[in-house]
Structure 1
Amino acid sequence: MDLTGSLPPITRLWAYSSIALSLSEHIGLLSRFSLFYSPSLAFLPPNPQPYRAITTFLYFGPLGIDFFFHLFFFVRYARMLEENHYAGHPADFAWLVLVCAIGLLLVAPVVVAGVPFLGGALAFCLVYLWSRRNKHVRLSLFGVLVITAPYLPVALCGFSWVLTGSATAVKGDLLGVGVGHVYYFFADVWPKEVGSGGRELLGTPQWL
């Protein structure tokens, strides 16, 4: 996994921030309990902590196999999206990440209980989008299984379940797949439909 300056800017910033948070938690500089997302803790008085709406996407968990699993696939597919599909258009990639993040913040507390950290879910949004936009690509998963790109998110969810032995991590991954699919539909599918009139509902705003 290349974490050098060769990474595109948004992917690099996200990856470095994630590593810094997990290292800080590992050596006791901060607690994961100060990083997780809860709507009431983030936005309601008497002591709102809105930063939680950001740190929830930067924390992939304590240092360990699951942390490196999610970080590796985040860096791999975020990089390919940013360098290829969004090459020369960093604002469009930033808008994609922002829209998916807002979607997860709105949906997660209602749909999926027990997933306070959404970094893995946001990473799976990007994995899903890459897989749909490269549907004819064949790839080898861990040098064992050869699949076509659309099956990648399902395969990774299964591997995450085996790796952690818990359905909690898979809940977040599946949530990311769901939000990624909604984004894919409105950004890639709907504008091509006759009824859309060619309108892009999720087009990048001019101010960005």
Structure 2
Amino acid sequence: MIFLYRYCRMLEEGSFQGWTADFVFMFFFSCLLITIFGLFINLVFLGQAFTIMMVYIWSCWNPFVCMNFFGLLIFQAPFLPWILMGFSLLLGNSIIVDLLGIAVGHIYFSLEDVFPNQPGGERLLKTPSILKVIFDSPEDDPNYNPLPEEWAGGFAWGEGQRRGGGGLNNLNLVFNL
């Protein structure tokens, strides 16, 4: 749960900053693929695969981040999913779940980042417009002015001193009131 929270948060605040609908679409797409692949290999609990998938996508988009594993191993971020899989193997767990998460993460990363950047490549994963309507805020119109200048009453609003610019004079004014 800690890994899921941490890497989900780092993806949301980093790579998907301002792209909430795309972040939600990544969730839906990944969950769909993990569920379909999980049916074929008879996996019931897919949470670990989802976590490894999030770690894989984060590590692909942050290749130069230095990681530290229990203070023993120092490596760059793209190796993190593989080291977690090795640690899982060391603990005697099946690595099928980890491989599933890595495979789904690789599919998403390839379709979202690698293939569109190839010559003649195009973006195959497009976030549905309904998700954009629900999750993304409308774009700001630079020409939009909610209050015309003549509505201000002719006063020079906002032309006073800057906050904290008055020094002791501002303090005297406050205490004389």
Specify if TM > 0.5.
yes
Give the counterpart letter for 2:104 in structure 1: V
Q: Distance in 2 between matches of 1:94 and 1:142?
A: 32
Q: Distance in 2 between matches of 1:142 and 1:166?
A: 19
Q: Deviations over 1:42-86 (max 9, x none)?
A: xxxxxxxxxxxxxxxxxxxxxxxxxxxxx1211111110011111
Match of 1:140, SS state, is strand
Match of 1:117, SS state, is coil
1:153-168 matched pairs, under 5 angstroms: 153-163=81-91, 165-167=92-94
Q: Distance in 2 between matches of 1:174 and 1:195?
A: 30
TM-score, L = length of structure 1: 0.60
Q: State whether structure 2 residue 130 is matched by structure 1 residue 203.
A: no
Gaps spanning 5+ residues in structure 1: where? Answer: 1-70
Q: 1:175: which partner in 2? A: 100
Runs of 4 or more, structure 1, over 4 Å off, are none
Indicate which of 190, 193, 196 corresponds to 2:115: 190
1:32-43 matched pairs, under 5 angstroms: none
Give the counterpart letter for 2:130 in structure 1: W
Match of 1:146, SS state, is strand
Q: 1:99: which partner in 2? A: 29
Aligned residues: 131
Q: Distance in 1 between matches of 2:18 and 2:26?
A: 14
Match of 2:112, SS state, is helix
Which structure: greater helix fraction? 1
Match of 2:25, SS state, is helix
Please state how far the C-alpha of 1:166 moved relative to its aligned partner. Answer: 2.5
Q: Distance in 2 between matches of 1:91 and 1:143?
A: 37
Q: 2:79: which partner in 1? A: 151
Please state how far the C-alpha of 1:100 moved relative to its aligned partner. Answer: 0.5
Match of 1:194, SS state, is coil
Q: Distance in 1 between matches of 2:73 and 2:93?
A: 22
Q: Distance in 1 between matches of 2:12 and 2:75?
A: 23
- Which has the higher Rg, Structure 1 or Structure 2? 2
TM-score, L = length of structure 2: 0.70
1:131-146 matched pairs, under 5 angstroms: 131-146=59-74
Give the counterpart letter for 1:190 in structure 2: F
Percentage of identical aligned residues: 40
Please state how far the C-alpha of 1:203 moved relative to its aligned partner. Answer: 2.1
Q: 2:152: which partner in 1? A: none
